[in-house]
Each structure stands twice: as C-alpha cells, then as structure tokens.
Amino acid sequence: MEKITKTTGMKNRKIVLSTLWIFVTFNWLYCDVMTLMDPIQLKQVLTNTAGAIQMTEGFLLGAAIVMEIPIALILLSRILKYRANRWTNIIAGIIMMAVQIMSLFVGTPSLSYIFYSAVEISCTIFIVWYAWSWRKTEDVPDSNI
C-alpha cells in the first residue's frame, strides 16, 4: 500500500506541475490575443512597437524563446526525474514571473493585461512554491511511473 501512495504522489506532483504550466501558458496566449482587440495596442503592433520598444526580429526571437519556456515545461514536468524536474520548475517559474512583472512597466497596461498578469504571476509563484516544497520522499523509480 505504501508503494502505491508513493507512486501516486510522484505522478500527481508531475501532473499538477504540467497542468499548471498549461494553465499559465493559455493565460499568456489569450492575454496576447486580447491585446489585439484593444485599438491602442493593435495600432502599436501594426507600427512594430510595444510601448517604447521596437519589435525587431531580435525582439520577436527573444519573445519566442521566452514563450517556449512554459511550453517546454508542460512536457518536461512530466518526463524529467525528481531533481532536474524540481529545479527546472523553480528556475523557469522565477524567470517567467520576472518577465511578467517587468512587462507591466512597458507602456501603460490595460486593465485586462493587469488582470491576466495577476493570474500569471500568482500561478508562477505557486509553481515555484510547489516545486520548492517537493521532497525526495515522494520520489519513486521512473520505471514505475
């Protein structure tokens, strides 16, 4: 019975982390879609600006790399072993939280952007805490997962 509990705990921790990354990724993406519905924001996009930032190829590549982090964590949270999984989630969560906080200081954010940011920052804080509180005692050999 104890082995079943340990196996379930490990699977659940990986599944919960992966699900949290899905949730926060959808929030980031839908926030970006909603931004295009705001005439002021749409005008900036059409003129290749984001606040005071020029949307160059380099900027777009950087944005793509940043958005690939949570997308990759959906998969990595399920397949990485305990130590790598825990630290990857902690580091990625901190990076994405910092990016979202910094984005609030680019231009004047809309109310919907502030709302989505609050959800996204809260979720990444929870991801960091959840991964930080993950203990090896929940770990079982990966062959049993």
How confident is the model over 130-140, as pLDDT tens digits? Answer: 999 999 776 55
CA 82-16-1 angle, to 5 degrees, is 70
What Rg value do the Cα atoms of the chain yield, rounded? Answer: 18
Cα gap 86→81, rounded to integer Å:
8
Phi, psi (deg, nearest 5) at residue 100: -65, -40
The contacts of residue 33 (CB under 8 Å, 6+ apart) are none
State pTM to two decimals. 0.83
pLDDT of residue 124 exceeding 80, the answer is yes
Q: Which residue's entry shows tokens 């949730």?
A: 23
Query: What residues have CB less than 8 Å from 114, skipping those under 6 apart?
Result: 104
**What is the predicted pLDDT for the residue at 104?**
92
The mean of the pLDDT values for the chain is: 87
Check whether 142 has a pLDDT greater than 90.
no
List, for residues 7-46, the tens digit of each pLDDT value.
Answer: 455 568 999 999 999 999 999 999 989 988 988 888 888 8
